[in-house]
Amino acid sequence: MDISAARQPYRAAAAAFFGTMIEWYDFFIYATASALVFGDVFFSNADHFVGTLASLGTFAVGFVARPVGAIVFGHLGDKVGRKRSLIVTLLLMGIATMVIGMLPSYQSIGVMAPILLVVLRLLQGVAVGGEWGGAVLIAAEHAPPKLRTFLAAAPQYGSPVGLVIATSMFAAVSSLPDADFKSWGWRIPFLFSGVLVLAALLIRRSVNESPELEAHRERMAKARHVQEVAPLRNIFARYKTRLLLGMALSMLGISGFYFITTLMITFTTTYLHVARPDILRVGTYTGIVELLSFPIASYIATRIGERRTIAIVAGAAVLWAAPMMMLVMTGNIANIAVGILVATVFIGAYYAVLAPFLPKAFPIDVRYTGISLSFQLCGALFGGTTPLLGLWIAERFGLHWGPLALLFAIIAGATLLGAVLIPHEPQAEGGAESEGNLSASGAASGMTVRNA
């Protein structure tokens, strides 16, 4: 075998990791800024709560745009190729983020400031909508079978690393005097994104197209078969139930994650008066704990099966919801850290296994569209709205642990349900995991199982 070809699985995993790291770094700095500073910089309102709510509203807008990115880049990735789609998403996200860092405040240009912020946030959402699915597939479809569970998780490592870099950057600039922080300090993390994008672009361009996709095209060409149906139409015609279960499966990774990060930053600083640098340090530890949980979960999944691993950690997250919020409500930073970091272990373990698990639900010719829509429709409906809903619950019920604990338990419970019920393509099954009754449930739901 050609040495360069032998290195492609690892090169693809590295490209998926670095690209996703930057995408999520950009997304996390926006999430942090929306919780800490955008309400004062881009919205003119004397009520701090209303300003923060409006700022988190622009955060939610990015999730609404994600399904658009899933559709556009999913179609491009399934029809043209994974590589081209991923280069465009990286450039789009990086440019939008840098422009946000240069955007004038409300005091400078009035209402145009929040309008431009929303437009740029929409572009960020479109880019992220197309990034995750493509990054997972470019890593998974290059990987040899024995390493697929580990290498397919490469993009997932980008998320916590992006979180660590983002929170570290904001922890550094948040120590500035408040006036400097709100004037120019918060802009530094956004402008730094341009340097990261250039580095990731060079790595991503060195990766070949997915060999699995190219092999599928060769088979179709030899059979003189032309796939005329658009991937999106095919998904809604034949795989609607899988799409809904894929959305449920994605809940803990999207809604649950923003519960313990964006919502907890806003809640602890606004209602419990926790110092901003303290909670940002917890955010940094969150990324580190998530990183440590990934390889452990991947190894466990190779032993007991991906489905069983996700079901176990989702069930554990349901049980941890009440103790977590009891610890948070004490207002003690050590207790808050314990509550959030234990939840992070469960979310991280699930998130590592999601990448190799979810693509098995869809055949290759609609796989990019299928997994992207599952993940991003979940984000549009529940990801960006989770901090808003949590903030409303806190305002409505006050400092009571029960309502917020119930919200987190419902999020984790949805993922547990998705893990148990989602069917898989027969040829994609691993030896450690039995699917028999679930294939039957897929057939009973009226879906046609096709060979990739």
pLDDT at 47 over 90: no
Residue 88, in any domain of the structure = yes
Question: Sign of the C-alpha dihedral, residues 65, 348, 135, 223?
Answer: negative
Q: Which residue has the higher pLDDT, 383 or 21?
A: 21
Helix (H) or strand (E) holding 109: helix 106-109
Least confident among 108-112, 182-186, 225-229? 225-229
Q: Using CA of residue 384, residue 387, residue 393, residue 396, what is the dihedral sign?
A: negative
Q: Is the pLDDT of residue 130 over 80?
A: yes
Task: State how far the Cα of 154 lies from the Cα of 161, in Å rounded to an integer.
Answer: 11
The contacts of residue 366 (CB under 8 Å, 6+ apart) are 78, 231, 234, 235, 239
CA dist 335 to 167, 201, 340, 370, 406, Å?
A: 20, 41, 9, 40, 19
Domain that holds residue 143: 3-444
pLDDT for 187-234, tens place per residue?
999 999 888 888 888 877 777 666 666 666 666 666 665 555 678 888
User: pTM value?
Assistant: 0.74
Residues sharing a CB contact under 8 Å with residue 63, sequence separation 6 or more, in sequence order: 125, 379, 380, 381, 383, 384, 385
Confidence of residue 3 (pLDDT cuts 50, 70, 90): very low
Contact between residue 138 and residue 15 where contact means Cβ atoms under 8 Å apart:
yes
In a domain, 450, yes or no: no
How many domains does one find in the chain? 1
Place of tokens 């003690």: 332
Give the model confidence (pLDDT) of 242-257 as tens digits. Answer: 999 999 999 999 899 8
Q: What is the pLDDT of residues 256-269, one digit of tens each?
A: 988 998 899 889 98
Q: What is the CATH number of the domain that holds 80?
A: 1.20.1250.20
- Kindly state whether residue 190 falls inside one of the protein's structural domains: yes
- Quick one: which H or E segment has residue 53? helix 48-79
Task: Tell me, yes or no, whether 414 lies in a domain.
Answer: yes
Flag whether 449 is in a domain: no
**Is 32 inside a domain boundary?**
yes
> CA 45, 29, 318, 437 torsion: positive or negative?
positive
Q: Is residue 67 part of a domain?
A: yes
Q: Would you give the end-to-end CA distance of the chain in angstroms? A: 25
Assign 207 to helix, strand or coil: coil
- Report which of 452, 433, 374, 450 is spatially closest to residue 141, judged by C-alpha positions: 452
419 pLDDT higher than 90 = yes
Residue 138 lies inside a defined structural domain of this protein: yes
